[in-house]
Amino acid sequence: MAESVKLKKEDGTAVVLLNRPEAFNAFDQEMVVLLANTLTHLTLDDSVSAVVISGEGKAFCAGGDLRSLLALPAGPAAGLYELAASFHQAIMEIRRMKKPVIAAINGIAAGGGFSMALACDFRVMAQPAVLRQAYTSNGLSIDGGGTFTLPRMVGLARALEIIGLDQSISSEQALAWGLATKVVPDGKALEEALRFALELKKVSPHSFGRCKELMTNSFDTPFEAQMELERSALFCCADHPDGKEGLKAFVEKRKPVFTDKKI
């Protein structure tokens, strides 16, 4: 049987492909555990400087596999509780990873797929692709960090509109609301995400990682404490080979060459 999560590497970028196309890449327990483990491995892989997540077939990810959950002897509530634990581990790996993580949204991203896309640092959407939270129409509440990321991206009022109406969000609307980074022609999401990953390599990976960490943690940190964390991070960056190269290049009026791969 084919692996439900596939991994390949291209020019230092890891491509994680959700591989249940017959189920629109909806995840069951086995798939989401494999996804979390794959992301953990990539966090520690110094040969990888960026990660792209996409789906095989026509969908990015339709969220949790509700059909399989309804068939569980313990019932869907217990199944969802267990599934969410593993799913949340995968989401935390995305947020804790100091490398850029790009969602290549090739088709519908709904439910957990919607939350996972929002957890990524960037979202490249194919023009026909849509986002849909899909929880409230099924009598469920949002998981995967969606209640944290969504209102911070679009504001509380619009977030409540999205959960109240549960309408599909087109790629054009997602771009206008700040939910999408780029919109590209159909079939080009993964290609553009890989190109975007190459663009990101022009900045220091160590610097990006520090800034991502600071921003991720900023929502739980008082302003004065956040500035102290910034001061410490600034010292660490300036003392890192990338920082030394960047400062030297600035003085010499040339483009820096960042060669240290450790983040």
**What does the pLDDT look like over 48-84, one tens digit per residue?**
999 999 999 999 999 999 888 887 778 889 989 999 9
Class of domain 5-200: alpha beta
pLDDT tens figures, 21-30: 999 999 999 9
pLDDT of res. 262:
66
Average pLDDT over residues 100-116: 98
- Work out whether the CA dihedral 159, 209, 104, 56 comes out positive or negative: negative
Average pLDDT over residues 169-178: 98
CA distances from 129 to 49, 53, 71, 149, 180 (A): 27, 15, 30, 20, 11
In the chain, the amino acid numbered 50 is A
- Among 87, 85, 101, residue whose Cα is nearest residue 42: 101
Residue ranges of domains in the chain? 5-200, 205-251
Cβ-proximal residues to 82 (8 Å cutoff; 6+ apart), any chain: 29
CB atoms within 10 A of CB 240: 19
pLDDT of res. 79:
87
Q: 173 burial class (0-12, 13-18, 19+ CB within 10 angstroms)?
A: middle
What are the backbone dihedrals phi and psi of residue 61, each rounded to the nearest 5 degrees, phi first? -170, 130
Contact 120, 89 (CB under 8 A): no
pTM: 0.93
Q: What angle do CA 182, 212, 117 make, to 5 degrees?
A: 40
